[in-house]
């Protein structure tokens, strides 16, 4: 236990130390400016505490972000619009919806690609092209187009998550469904097994480890998709809205706490998918 | 005794990027019911390819091949044979019992019959009690025995074995050879056995087919009349060494050592 705790704590301590150093470095010019305007001189020792207590710092200090997080999660009612947990919940719904849709779409595409040469040739280039378009460019279009046909709220954001998350699942599952070795495929042939029997008894179980690996990536980018989807909607609610509102009013502390919240959420979601993956692998006889 | 496998002027040419490769040329072979036939020869002599043609895993480009009087495809669909590969090729996510169940599931056999059949085949290869183990919990030799049980699961008349013990050490190999002989005596199956070990071929077979490479062809067919009762130390007997010598001479004459 201690063997894994010590390296982790060391890294965290290093990050916080670098963060504080950067805070001083980035926020000091503002303090020097202030001093100059007031026609006073200020020593470096005097600057340091001031750089960590600014209202709108270039880079907020870790403890400022921590205080903001504490205030907006623990000290605020969850139902309040000031609660970061409430905003996280708003973002979580399209993240999960988009993740489920993206995973299903990815699996479906992979099954088609593996079983049909025509689909392999025709679909794969489009799948890859779809990911070369910056999501920031296409997200507003999706929102506008769907709004025109009367779809609002959760679904447009979920569609953006789907757009991002189907890709790793499709690519991973194509690889996974093709992973059975020749000997196993020959074996199924000697049994005169049908395509669907070969799929369910051989291809699908072989692909399960690939599925969970790609689902871990998919759920993280689903969250990114949902946040990006909140930016063009006028930023009413959700973590994306907090980011946007924060940047409107120069509330860097708010932006950073929303970022940290998104990171925590992504971490939890990936861990959750990983845990399900481990449980499934264990059931499938993987050596513990 | 009836013919189980009969090939006439069998040819198989692979088209590769470096031009055609004659994997098999003019193969005439007649295997009778209950025989134990070994195919021996150096790498590239087409012994595995011949086995794969019989199993309908490769399609010949010339000549005829009949398995139980049918085409290989019909024979495969009738489950005429069980195939044992070089590696055990067990599915890692299934238990030993689950692995043996795969061919039975494909056949559509009901659960109760499956269970009885699995128990019977595991007993045959001396693996009773290992039903619930996963493949990685078994040694290499035990895994290969499980794969033999799997090949026997759908009650085929014939076993096709492609260097099944090639990846195992000699001690395990000797033991499995003995067990295979007992199994053969008990079940009276026809066995086609690919190997490149001379002692293994002589110890197991009733008939040894010596093959030579480029193009893959049959050089000589040697009868191996050691009788049904073969303890391990028969390998030191004069008759055994004589047959082994003939096989070696056959391989030499067929340019196997070039």
Q: Which of A205, A228, A212 is nearest to A172 (CA)?
A: A212
Shortest CB distance from B106 goes to which of A197, A205, A284? A197
What confidence score (pLDDT) does residue A242 get? 87
pLDDT in tens, chain A (288 residues): 667 889 999 999 999 999 999 999 999 999 888 888 888 888 888 888 888 888 889 999 999 999 999 998 888 888 888 888 999 998 999 999 999 999 999 999 999 999 999 999 999 889 999 899 888 888 888 888 888 888 888 898 999 999 999 999 999 999 999 999 999 999 999 999 999 999 999 999 999 999 999 999 999 999 999 999 888 766 578 898 888 888 888 889 999 999 999 999 999 999 999 999 999 988 887 765
B257 in reach of chain A (CB within 8 A): no
ipTM score assigned to the predicted complex: 0.89
Q: Give A152-188 pLDDT, tens digit per residue.
A: 888 989 999 999 999 999 999 999 999 999 999 999 9
A vs B, Cβ pairs < 8 A, gives: 58
Q: Which of B62, B56, B60, B77 is nearest to B9 (CA)?
A: B62
B81 in reach of chain A (CB within 8 A): yes
Residue B195 has pLDDT above 90, yes or no: yes
What confidence score (pLDDT) does residue A147 get? 85
Q: Give B119-170 pLDDT, tens digit per residue.
A: 999 998 889 999 999 999 999 889 999 999 999 998 898 999 999 998 888 8
Interface contact A191-B87, CB threshold 8 A: no
Residue B208 has pLDDT above 60, yes or no: yes
B11 in reach of chain A (CB within 8 A): no
What confidence score (pLDDT) does residue B257 get? 64
What confidence score (pLDDT) does residue A211 get? 96
- For residue A145, give every residue at least 6 positions away whose Cβ sits within 8 Å of its Cβ, in sequence order, or none: none
Interface of A with B in 249-268 (CB under 8 A): none
Asked if A266 and A220 count as a contact pair (C-beta separation under 8 A), the reply is yes
What confidence score (pLDDT) does residue B138 get? 93
Interface contact B85-A187, CB threshold 8 A: yes
Interface contact B85-A191, CB threshold 8 A: no
Three-class DSSP category at A39: coil
A36 vs B242: CA distance, rounded Å: 107
Shortest CB distance from A191 goes to which of B87, B92, B106? B106
- Tell me the shortest Cα–Cα distance from A172 to chain B, in angstroms: 19
B133 in reach of chain A (CB within 8 A): no
What confidence score (pLDDT) does residue A161 get? 94
B255 vs B258: CA distance, rounded Å: 5
The 3 state secondary structure assigned to chain B is CCEEEEEEEEEEEEEECCEEEEEEEEEEEEEECCCEEEEECCCCCCHHHHHHHHCCCCCCCEEEEEECCECHHHHHHCCCEEEECCCCCCCCCCCHHHHHHHHHHHHCCCHHHHHHHHHHHHHHCCCCCCCCCCHHHCCHHHHHHHHHHHHHCCCCCEEEEECCCCCCCHHHHHHHHHHHHHHHHHHCCEEEEEECCHHHHHHHCCEEEEEECCCCEEEEEEECCCCCCCCHHHHHCHHHHHHHHHHHHHHHHCCCCC
C-beta atoms surrounding A195 within 10 Å: 10
Q: Give A144-159 pLDDT, tens digit per residue.
A: 888 888 888 889 899 9
Question: Structural domains in chain B?
Answer: 34-59+69-80+156-258 (3.40.50.300), 88-155 (no CATH)
Using a CB-CB cut-off of 8 Å, the residues of chain B touching A287 are: 134, 136
What confidence score (pLDDT) does residue A1 get? 60
Chain B residue nearest residue A198, CA to CA: B106
What confidence score (pLDDT) does residue B153 get? 92
- Tell me the shortest Cα–Cα distance from A173 to chain B, in angstroms: 18
Interface contact A284-B93, CB threshold 8 A: yes
Residue B175 has pLDDT above 90, yes or no: no
Interface contact A192-B106, CB threshold 8 A: yes
A202 in reach of chain B (CB within 8 A): yes
Task: Mutation target for A interface from B51, B91, B147: give the one with most A CBs within 10 A.
Answer: B91
- For residue A65, give every residue at least 6 positions away whose Cβ sits within 8 Å of its Cβ, in sequence order, or none: A253, A256, A257, A260
A148 CB burial (10 A radius; 0-12, 13-18, 19+): exposed
- For residue B151, give every residue at least 6 positions away whose Cβ sits within 8 Å of its Cβ, in sequence order, or none: B82, B83, B84, B159
Percent of chain B with pLDDT over 70: 98
Chain A residue nearest residue B104, CA to CA: A191
pTM of the model: 0.85
Using a CB-CB cut-off of 8 Å, the residues of chain A touching B103 are: 191
What confidence score (pLDDT) does residue A76 get? 83
B167 in reach of chain A (CB within 8 A): no
Chain B residue nearest residue A284, CA to CA: B93
């Amino acid at each position: 236990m201690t063997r894994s705790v010590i390296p982790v704590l060391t890294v965290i301590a290093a990050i916080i130390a670098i963060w504080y150093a950067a805070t001083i470095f980035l926020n000091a010019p503002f303090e020097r400016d202030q001093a100059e305007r007031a026609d006073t001189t200020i020593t470096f020792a005097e600057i340091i505490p001031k750089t960590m207590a600014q209202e709108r710092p270039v880079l907020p200090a870790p403890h400022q972000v921590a205080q903001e997080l504490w205030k907006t999660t623990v000290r605020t009612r969850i139902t309040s619009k000031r609660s970061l947990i409430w905003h996280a919940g708003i973002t979580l719904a399209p993240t999960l919806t988009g993740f489920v849709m993206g995973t299903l779409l990815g699996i479906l595409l992979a099954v088609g690609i593996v079983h049909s040469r025509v689909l392999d040739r025709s679909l794969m280039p489009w799948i890859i092209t779809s990911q070369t378009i910056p999501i920031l460019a296409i997200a507003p279009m999706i929102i506008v187009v769907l709004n025109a046909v009367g779809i609002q709220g959760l679904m447009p954001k979920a569609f953006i998550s789907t757009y991002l998350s189907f890709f790793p699942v499709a690519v991973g599952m194509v690889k996974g469904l093709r992973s059975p070795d020749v000997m196993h495929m020959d074996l199924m042939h000697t049994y005169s097994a049908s395509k669907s029997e070969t799929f369910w008894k051989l291809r699908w179980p072989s692909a399960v480890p690939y599925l969970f690996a790609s689902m871990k990536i998919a759920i993280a980018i689903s969250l990114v998709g949902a946040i990006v989807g909140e930016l063009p909607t006028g930023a009413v609610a959700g973590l994306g809205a907090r980011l946007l509102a924060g940047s409107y009013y120069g509330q860097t502390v708010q932006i950073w706490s929303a970022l940290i919240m998104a990171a925590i959420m992504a971490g939890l979601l990936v861990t959750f998918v990983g845990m399900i993956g481990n449980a499934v692998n264990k059931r499938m006889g993987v050596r513990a | 005794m009836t013919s189980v496998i009969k090939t006439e002027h069998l040819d198989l040419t692979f088209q590769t990027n470096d031009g055609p490769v004659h994997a098999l040329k003019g193969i005439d072979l007649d295997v009778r019911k209950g025989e134990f036939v070994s195919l021996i020869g150096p790498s590239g002599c087409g012994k595995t390819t011949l086995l794969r043609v019989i199993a309908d895993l490769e399609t010949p480009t010339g000549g005829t091949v009949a398995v139980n009087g049918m085409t290989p495809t019909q024979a495969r669909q009738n489950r005429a044979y069980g195939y044992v590969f070089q590696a055990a090729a067990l599915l890692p996510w299934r238990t030993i019992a689950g692995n043996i169940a795969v061919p039975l599931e494909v056949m559509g056999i009901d659960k109760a019959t499956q269970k009885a059949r699995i128990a019977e085949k595991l007993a045959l290869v001396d693996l009773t009690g290992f039903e619930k183990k996963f493949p990685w919990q078994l040694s290499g030799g035990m895994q290969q025995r499980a794969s033999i049980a799997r090949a026997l699961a759908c009650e085929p008349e014939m076993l096709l074995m492609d260097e099944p013990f090639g990846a195992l050490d000699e001690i395990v190999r000797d033991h499995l050879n003995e067990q295979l002989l007992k199994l053969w005596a008990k079940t009276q199956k026809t066995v086609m056995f690919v190997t490149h070990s001379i002692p293994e071929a002589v110890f197991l077979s009733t008939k040894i087919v010596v093959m030579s490479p480029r193009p893959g062809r049959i050089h000589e067919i040697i009868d191996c009349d050691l009788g049904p009762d073969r303890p391990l130390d028969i390998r030191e007997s004069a008759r055994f060494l004589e047959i082994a010598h003939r096989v070696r001479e056959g391989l030499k004459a067929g340019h196997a050592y070039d």
